[in-house]
Structure 1
Amino acid sequence: MIQGNGWRFWLGWLFVLFLLSSLGLGWLVRGLSLLMLLVILTPTLLTLGLRWWLSRNLVTGACPVCGFGVQGVTHTPTQCPHCGERLQVTGGQFVRFTPPGIVDVSAVEVPESKN
């Protein structure tokens, strides 16, 4: 990684570029300028792209089994850090992950009727 002491570093680079362009090596100056631009812009663009992708695909919610807060990526199985249940993001909410061919049933308590 390029390191320097503030303004002296950048003034040194500008002096070298000016010296090369005055010697008729403009193509080299353009190449070095393009390289410096890529070194500066690439991490910025990658960071912005990653933040945009995460804002569209990262889901935060509660585990349907234990209610613990969980984060996951859309269409990717994840595991609850509290209870260990495998979860899947469906429709912006967490649901229990069930492999094909298995039916997930929720038990409901029915009160007794006195007849």
Structure 2
Amino acid sequence: MNNQYPKLVWMNNSGLGCLLTFLLLGLLLGSIGLGWVVNSFLILLGAIILLPIISFWGLRWWMRRNLVEDQCPVCNYEFTAFNSIECNCPSCGEPLQIQGGHFQRITPPGTIDVEAVEVSVKQLED
């Protein structure tokens, strides 16, 4: 290390030297009539910073409006589905639709659900 120069002038590893270089380059381009280059760079930099933030909040808003979390009316299994599509329950396979933020069965009126019971077969001796 060279001790002849004071530490205020020596900016080898500080970020201030890089910042001053960009500032001087911007002032030089602005003074010779190329301010549009500096403006477009700043707009691009702002877009790179702001677009992911806006996209994240927009995606959260859209998901909050279009996802429905409810229980299956047949087996009471709780799951999530999109608001505008018909889906099947992942547990029992019942086709469901979403009405008013809740799952409703897609069955024709008058359909009766029947549970099958296994019956053991006994042979009668004659």
TM-score (norm 2): 0.63
User: Does the 8 Å CA contact 1:61/1:94 hold for their aligned counterparts?
Assistant: yes
Distance 2:62 2:99 in 1: 17
User: Does the 8 Å CA contact 1:58/1:71 hold for their aligned counterparts?
Assistant: yes
How big is the shift at 1:89?
Answer: 0.8
Distance 1:53 1:66 in 2: 29
The one-character-per-residue Cα deviations of 1:6-51 (angstroms, maximum 9, x if unpaired) are: x94x974674254133233321111011011111111111111111
Distance 2:40 2:83 in 1: 41
Q: How much is the aligned-residue C-alpha RMSD, in angstroms?
A: 2.8
Q: Highest CA radius of gyration, 1 or 2?
A: 2
Identity score, percent: 40
Question: How many residue pairs were aligned?
Answer: 98
- Gaps (5+ residues) in structure 2? 1-13, 115-126
The one-character-per-residue Cα deviations of 1:28-87 (angstroms, maximum 9, x if unpaired) are: 111011011111111111111111122122111101121101111212112222122222
In the other structure, the counterpart of 1:42 is 51
User: Does the 8 Å CA contact 1:59/1:93 hold for their aligned counterparts?
Assistant: yes
Distance 2:17 2:66 in 1: 43
- Gaps (5+ residues) in structure 1? 1-6, 109-115
